[in-house]
Amino acid sequence: MRDQRLPPSSPGFWRSPVRGPWFTSVLGVVLLVGITVLFVTGLLSYAAYNPDLSPVNDKTPDKGILGFYLFAWPTGPYWLYRLTQGVHVTLGITIVPVLLAKLWSVVPKLFALPPVRSLAHGLERISLLLLVGGALFEFVTGVLNVQLDYVFPGSFYPLHFYGAWVFFAAFVVHVLLRAPAAVRNLRRMRSGKGPEGEAGGEPDFPLVSPRPAAPTVSRRGSLWLVGGGSLALFVTTVGQSFDGPLRRTALLAPHGFADPGSGPGGFQINKTAAYRGISARERSDEVWRLAVTGPSGTVRLSRAELLDLPLHSSALPIACVEGWSTSDQWWRGVRLRDLAALVGYEADAAPDVLVESLQRHGAFRSAALRANQVRDERSLLALDVNGEPLTPDHGHPARIIVPAAPGVLNTKWVARMTFGDL
Ligand SMILES: Nc1nc2c(c(=O)[nH]1)N[C@H]1C(S)=C(S)[C@@H](COP(=O)(O)O)O[C@H]1N2
Ligand SMILES: [Mo]
């Protein structure tokens, strides 16, 4: 719906009758709330990754002042990361149509001439560049990471983190400049006065086409269209936070939602033992020994010897940074604090631990846990799940499970644990 005889810098070129302050304002207010929630839950995810445990978990060593807020991630409530990261990923996917509609609604302004009319106008346009670029960058990197199975494994972490700060800074400037007009517009519409005139609302480029084409859908109708798109994304994504039949509704969720089978090990698997190159031999009772190291030396334990230690159960979920999670599973194994006690610590004074896997290649070979995670009585080196020995894909012979932690810290096929001195 364009008038090709006019240049795009002319308001008459843009003819959709849907564009206007009301449409832009409604979408803007939805994004104001949604993006703020995305930013906060995103920052929480970085804290949950234990960034101060350099160098194992900290992939943003140059985070500098941007990391000022990082804090020791708690172990409770035990479903904390399941909630924050489920919201982050599901909401991020759900508001993509709103973002695209918002960008479409203001695209004529991109072509306004002259491009810069004053210093203030120039600064605003630079902030818009960072805003639009930042939004596209954050959504594209986020969706790619979730969908394509960590396309940039190590580098996603700093990219998405630095991008978020640039984007959010531009977002705050934009909201400060624009929110008053958006709210005024919505108030006026509600009281039946119609949007502000061009003079008040849209000084640099009219959103309302001066020569609108005949409408094919009302403004309200187009909002329903955007909302419908969001709803469709939501219902095909949200199932990834649940087990059972609901998970099969997560059509848009990434890899690995092939049926994990039934029985005790029948819940979501991220990377299989075969994919990670873990052989049956190195997992076998004859070969596998867990090495636990602390101030009093190194203890080597077979699976049978571990099963002879005091065993405890915890009902805990697995919650991945990709947004999917399982419901609570019954894990049984040795408390991490008891393992610390084997090598020279008081359980209540257990320190950080470095956990290393049998895995020799690829990401997530090792992870460090903080002292508060080690000391929690629910944190286990799990040997069984749901009443049976761990399956190979769930980390047999032994795996870590910690309450409220991101899945990535729950190392599978554990070979070595080193307490203290990280
Ligand atoms: N050794 C090892 N442990 C690992 C991984 C891995 O690739 N290798 N993946 C991690 C990630 S990213 C997640 S989300 C959980 C998934 O656990 P599950 O496959 O048992 O559901 O295991 C974690 N532990
Ligand atoms: Mo994960």
Specify if 35 maps to a domain: yes
From 393, 410, 414, give the residue whose CB has the most ligand 1 atoms within 8 Å, as the site to mutate: 410
Per residue in 185-238, pLDDT (tens digit) is 888 888 877 665 443 444 557 788 988 999 899 888 999 999 999 999 999 999
> Strand, coil or helix: what is 169?
helix
Q: Tell me, what's the pLDDT at 149?
A: 65
Query: Which ligand lies nearest to the CA atom of residue 356 in the structure?
Result: 1
Q: Which residues line ligand 1 (CB under 6 A)?
A: 268-271, 276, 318, 320, 357, 359, 364, 394, 407-408, 410-413
pLDDT band at 288; cut points 50, 70, 90: very high
pLDDT at 270 over 60: yes
Do 283 and 392 form a contact (C-beta atoms < 8 A)? yes
Residues 6 or more apart whose Cβ sits within 8 Å of residue 194: 188
pLDDT at 150 over 80: no
- Please state the atom number of ligand 1 nearest to the C-alpha of residue 321: 14
Q: Are residues 235 and 336 in the same domain?
A: no
User: Of the candidates 212, 240, 268, which is a domain's last residue?
Assistant: 240
Per residue in 78-125, pLDDT (tens digit) is 999 999 999 999 999 999 999 999 999 999 988 888 888 888 888 888
Between 63-77, 142-156, 318-332, the lowest mean confidence (pLDDT) is in 142-156
Q: Are residues 187 and 304 in the same domain?
A: no
Protein residues within 5 Å, CB atom, of ion ligand 2? 320, 407-408
Q: Are residues 320 and 226 in the same domain?
A: no
Nearest C-alpha to atom 11 of ligand 1 is from which residue? Answer: 408
Q: Are residues 33 and 108 in the same domain?
A: yes
Instruction: Calculate the average pLDDT of the chain.
Output: 90
Mind giving me the DSSP string for 220-240? HHHHHHHHHHHHHHHHTTGGG
- Please state the atom number of ligand 1 nearest to the C-alpha of residue 272: 19
Burial of 162 (0-12, 13-18, 19+ CB in 10 A): middle
Q: Are residues 337 and 203 in the same domain?
A: no
Nearest C-alpha to atom 15 of ligand 1 is from which residue? Answer: 407
Burial of 104 (0-12, 13-18, 19+ CB in 10 A): middle
Q: Tell me, what's the pLDDT at 151?
A: 66
Q: How large is the C-alpha radius of gyration of the chain?
A: 26
Between 14-18, 63-67, 320-324, the lowest mean confidence (pLDDT) is in 63-67
Q: Are residues 20 and 93 in the same domain?
A: yes
Q: How many domains does the chain have?
A: 2
Residue that wins the pLDDT comparison between 381 and 179: 381
The proportion of the chain whose per-residue pLDDT surpasses 90, expressed as a percent, equals: 64
Q: Please, what is the end-to-end C-alpha distance for the chain in angstroms?
A: 62
Q: Tell me, what's the pLDDT at 200?
A: 42
> What is the 3-state composition of the chain as percent helix, strand, coil, each rounded to the nearest 5?
45, 10, 40
Ligand 1 centroid to residue 400 C-alpha, Å: 10
CATH of the domain at 415: 3.90.420.10
pLDDT at 305 over 90: yes
> The tokens of 192 are what?
């039946």
Residue 255 host element (H or E): none
Q: Tell me, what's the pLDDT at 88?
A: 98
> The tokens of 141 are what?
């990197």
Q: Tell me, what's the pLDDT at 61?
A: 78
Specify if 246 maps to a domain: no
Specify if 278 maps to a domain: no
Q: Are residues 157 and 73 in the same domain?
A: yes
DSSP 292: E
Type of residue numbered 369: L
Nearest C-alpha to atom 6 of ligand 1 is from which residue? Answer: 364
Domain span at 391: 290-419
Specify if 6 maps to a domain: no
Please say whether the dihedral angle defined by the alpha carbons of residues 18, 20, 21 and 22, taken in this order, is positive or negative: negative
Specify if 72 maps to a domain: yes
Query: Which ligand lies nearest to the CA atom of residue 327 in the structure?
Result: 1
Q: Are residues 232 and 372 in the same domain?
A: no
From 255, 364, 409, 414, give the residue whose CB has the most ligand 1 atoms within 8 Å, as the site to mutate: 364
- Please state the atom number of ligand 1 nearest to the C-alpha of residue 322: 14
**How far apart, in whole angstroms, are the C-alpha atoms of residue 200 and residue 203?**
7
Do 416 and 355 form a contact (C-beta atoms < 8 A)? yes
User: Of the candidates 222, 240, 258, which is a domain's last residue?
Assistant: 240
**How far apart, in whole angstroms, are the C-alpha atoms of residue 339 and residue 350?**
9
Nearest C-alpha to atom 23 of ligand 1 is from which residue? Answer: 408
Do 243 and 267 form a contact (C-beta atoms < 8 A)? yes
Q: Tell me, what's the pLDDT at 95?
A: 97
Specify if 198 maps to a domain: yes
**How many CB atoms within 10 Å of residue 253?**
25
pTM for the predicted model, two decimal places: 0.93
Specify if 34 maps to a domain: yes
Specify if 69 maps to a domain: yes
Q: What does the pLDDT average to over 171-188?
A: 87
Q: Are residues 58 and 202 in the same domain?
A: yes
**How far apart, in whole angstroms, are the C-alpha atoms of residue 177 and residue 179?**
6
Q: Are residues 163 and 299 in the same domain?
A: no
Q: Are residues 300 and 203 in the same domain?
A: no
Q: Are residues 101 and 211 in the same domain?
A: yes
User: Of the candidates 240, 263, 282, which is a domain's last residue?
Assistant: 240
